[in-house]
Amino acid sequence: MWRIAWGLVAIPLLAQTCAQVPTYSSCDWVFEATEAEMAAHPNPYLTATVHAEFRSPRHRGTLAHGFWDGGRRFVIRYAPTDPGAWDFRVTSNIPSINGRAEKFDAPDSGSGGFLKAENYHAWTYAEKRTAHLWMGDTSYRFPWIDRAVFDAMVEARAKQKFNHLRGLLMHPEDKYRKAYLSPDQPNVEHFQEVDKRIRALNAKGIFVDLVLAGDENHLGKIFPNRQQRERFIKYVASRYTPMMITWQGVQEFEEYKDGRALLAEIAEYIAKYDIHNHPRSTHAVTTSAPLLADQWMTHAIYQSSSIALGAVDRQILRVPLVNAEFAYEDSGAGKSHGHHVDSDTFRKRLWNMTMNGMYPTFGNTGTYGGRKFEVEAKHLESPGAKAMAMWYEFFEDTRFWELQPYFEVTGGRALSLDGVEYIVYIEKPGPVTVVTEKKKYDVYWYRPSDGETIQEKKDYKGELFEGTPPDDKSDWVLHLSRDGRKRGMLKSWKFESRRVYKQQVESDPKKIPFVVETPSGDEIPAGKPVKFAVKLTRETKASKAMLYVWTVEATAANQGYRVIGTEPSGEFTIPAAIASEFPAVATLRLYGINGNGKVYSLDRVVKVTR
């Protein structure tokens, strides 16, 4: 830091400048107001304004908002996106800051830039069109855990090739350091610590998926009115937009009072203040996909181990799907929820979820920072974390950004880029057959439990591969790969080597091979278990492999649909919060996806009662 005088003021203004700021790295320009100026702003968070117009080497202007950082300190944080000479000018209602100007140089960092969705289901970087293989970890309490434990977590996860970590920006429990002392008073020390930790993660190439607040209407309780919520988003966007982040809304938006409207409002503010347009979605009880209709989300987030839900949504949605909680691994810390599972079950869910074309986020009960367990560094090297690392190493050698669910296979579940590679997950070892384009393929058997790869001596050439895993003691992956062809394709990154289609869902009852057997009436109670069952009306090889998803939506309530079942039979419970007034008219929808990947939809209008 060096000191210069910004005009004739009683106390010199302090400024931190960066003569060189590499592209896609953030710099803080720090300005300090005088005591007299601060007397006019007893709560600068509410009344002081500082922003700067940045001009790029291509003479494009960008408005960046500054923020109050405690005491007399104001910060403008910015990340240049183009190499070359930059300048900016400050506008502020603090006289000694207003009108100040700076110049700096931005050398090319070689960074790919910030993250964005590409070609519907893939991720890439804003600057370089190279694919991003999203692999996340969960640490809800990352701003609060002991710093030594946090540092160990960063080192371990970076070595394990994790490139995302999701966590809370504000914690709902009072025993943790408060982010806001009141709706109009941020705890600056809290956010300064968050700054340090996000920068530590970013330095290791890890994006931070920021969950703004906890569940049970936490955000609404802290900020009860729109003005407070916009001020909050402006503040956090000013601090974190220049960093490697994504926005992950709130925990379990379905538990919020009018959560759909609240998140649409928050998204409006993010769009206004996030000058880098980082990816946006929200955490959910089951899935955030019902909010896609509001057109502010770039991707959908799931908390579900259902094969059926992922399979259906991958066929009908045109956004990347991130499964944040298909399972949490219990490797010794204990378990308190149904999705806390042993390491083998975790690995199998990971691979089944992958075959739906979803991106995974890890969680270990000893490190994810839930309410029931302390975060302990000894769980960082768990079998599940190693399984994730091996998963990444496997897929980084594939055309992962172009793989799509593939259905011309028996004995397993598959992804493919037709004519280039086929990846078949075989959870229960046995004979497997794969229909392929008639090319010559290298044949590999990969064991996810330990990462061992066995290459068959003979290459395969034909249109129907038949084989059996090397043993029946573990799950296996069959990989048919045209290695030479892939090496040639990698000379240039390409995201459109095959078109991505949105499937037209069949909704003609005459063409649908199933009916709803129960519930049979037109009136269904909310908040109570109700038996359901599907009956096949036309049995074929494809229809016998049908997977089902049940949803319900009270249209007038404007809350979006809710997933209430993912089996052919059982019991579902319509959420009591599906509507505010009862009886409510609702649409009960049953999706089915057959063994060929064809999706059907059957609707019935019902009355939901209390």
Q: What is the mean pLDDT of residues 228-237?
A: 98
Token duo for residue 132: 């991003």
Is pLDDT of 4 > 50?
A: no
Give 216-230 as a 3 state SS string.
CCHHHHHCCCHHHHH
pLDDT of residue 497: 54
Q: Hey, what amino acid is at 418?
A: D
The predicted structure's pLDDT at residue 496: 57
Check residue 488 and give its pLDDT: 81
Q: How far is CA 352 from CA 24, 405, 563, in A?
A: 35, 11, 20
Which one-letter DSSP state was computed for residue 396? Answer: T
For residue 330, pLDDT beyond 90 = yes
The arithmetic mean of pLDDT across residues 586-610, rounded, is 97
Q: What is the mean pLDDT of residues 35-54?
A: 98
Per-residue pLDDT of 401-428, as tens digits, reads 999 999 999 999 999 999 999 999 999 9
Residue 486 has pLDDT above 90, yes or no: no
What's the CATH fold of domain 400-489?
Immunoglobulin-like (2.60.40)
pLDDT tens digits for range 53-103: 999 999 999 999 999 999 999 999 999 999 999 999 999 999 999 999 999
pLDDT of residue 263: 98
- Round to whole Å and give the CA distance between 256 and 219: 9
509-609 maps to which CATH number?
Answer: 2.60.40.730
Instruction: State residue 168's pLDDT score.
Output: 98
Give the pLDDT of residue 436: 97
The domains spanning 115-395 and 509-609 adopt the same CATH topology: no
Domain 115-395 has CATH 3.40.50.1860: no
Q: What is the pLDDT of residues 173-223, one digit of tens each?
A: 999 999 999 999 999 999 999 999 999 999 999 999 999 999 999 999 999
Q: Which tens digit of pLDDT belongs to each residue from 528-544?
A: 999 999 999 999 999 99
Alpha-carbon distance of 11 to 94, in angstroms, equals 14
pLDDT class of 460 with cuts at 50, 70, 90: very high
pLDDT for res 9: 28
Report the CATH architecture of 2-106: Sandwich (2.60)
User: For residue 15, what pLDDT is reported?
Assistant: 42
Laid out side by side, the sheet with 529-536 consists of 514-518, 529-536, 569-573
Q: How far apart are CA 320 and CA 119, in angstroms?
A: 9
pLDDT, one tens digit per residue, over 257-300 is 999 999 999 999 999 999 999 999 999 999 999 999 999 999 99
Residue 597 pLDDT exceeds 60 = yes
Quick one: what percent of the chain has pLDDT higher than 90?
A: 91
3-state SS, residue 530: strand
| Predicted structure pTM score | 0.95
**pLDDT at residue 232 greater than cutoff 70:** yes
Give me the residue spans of the domains in the chain.
2-106, 115-395, 400-489, 509-609
